């Protein structure tokens, strides 16, 4: 399935504006039952087991994964910790990257892919996150998008991606449940 550049509405909204020229993100709907998780998105035991099964079964090539988490949000930090532990248990190499200079608006977990084509680890990561009951948005071409935005506005905050990072998993705060 073809993926488009992630609009990063969460990033742009956090900066006080929106960018009508940015394409909409590709979204994968949350599995059944995920919408009812009001208190926490941390996977339960069955979801964690399903996630680890996906990760162990699909270890092809690079198994590094980077989680970007805004400081100061306990729920997002707890989710990142649980995901890091599950990836580590499955034999992957997780790392956490602190977010600075911006605030993420609440939303799903987002995978930012540096290039236009997803490396195999992105599909495995997405399926593992979905097995954990999480809604996931994926966008490709983030590196070029980031560079273009920085050229347009050098103070645009964005999420930097190093040359050795083929993708990032961004954990935004949880969307408040509808009352």
Q: Where are the domains of the chain?
A: 64-174
Task: Tell me the average pLDDT of the chain.
Answer: 81
> Would the pLDDT of 94 be above 90?
yes
Quick one: CATH architecture of 64-174?
2-Layer Sandwich (3.30)
Separation of alpha carbons 80 and 164, rounded Å: 21
Separation of alpha carbons 60 and 147, rounded Å: 29
Q: Is 168 helix (H, G, I), strand (E, B) or coil?
A: strand
Q: Going by C-beta distance under 8 Å and a sequence separation of 6 or more, which residues neighbour residue 148?
A: none
Q: How confident is the model at residue 81 (pLDDT cuts 50, 70, 90)?
A: very high
Percent of the chain clearing pLDDT 70 (strictly above):
77
Can you read off the two tokens belonging to residue 75? 């729920």
Question: For 4-59, what is each residue's pLDDT tens digit?
Answer: 344 443 343 344 333 333 333 443 333 334 344 445 899 999 999 999 999 999 77
- Beta strands 93-98 and 26-28, pairing class: unpaired
Phi and psi (nearest 5°) for 122? -70, -45
Can you read off the two tokens belonging to residue 91? 């034999």
Question: For 23-37, what is each residue's pLDDT tens digit?
Answer: 334 433 333 343 444
Q: How many other CB atoms are found less than 10 A from the CB of residue 107?
A: 18
Q: How confident is the model at residue 178 (pLDDT cuts 50, 70, 90)?
A: low
> Would the pLDDT of 3 be above 70?
no
Higher pLDDT: 70 or 125? It is 125
């Amino acid at each position: 399935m073809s993926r488009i550049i992630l609009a990063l509405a969460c990033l742009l909204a956090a900066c006080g504006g929106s960018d009508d020229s940015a394409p909409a993100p590709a979204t994968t709907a949350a599995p059944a039952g995920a919408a009812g998780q009001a208190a926490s998105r941390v996977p339960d035991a069955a979801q964690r087991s399903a996630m680890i099964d996906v990760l162990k079964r699909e270890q092809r090539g690079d198994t590094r994964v980077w989680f970007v988490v805004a400081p100061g949000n306990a729920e997002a930090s707890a989710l990142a910790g649980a995901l890091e532990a599950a990836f580590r248990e499955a034999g992957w190499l997780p790392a956490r990257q602190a977010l600075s200079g911006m605030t993420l608006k609440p939303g799903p977990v987002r995978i930012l892919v540096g290039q236009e084509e997803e490396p195999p680890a992105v599909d495995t990561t997405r399926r593992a996150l979905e097995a954990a009951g999480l809604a996931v948005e994926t966008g490709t071409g983030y590196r070029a998008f980031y560079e273009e935005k920085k050229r347009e506005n050098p103070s645009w905050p964005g999420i930097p991606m190093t040359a050795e990072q083929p993708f990032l998993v961004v954990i935004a705060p949880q969307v408040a449940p509808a009352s």
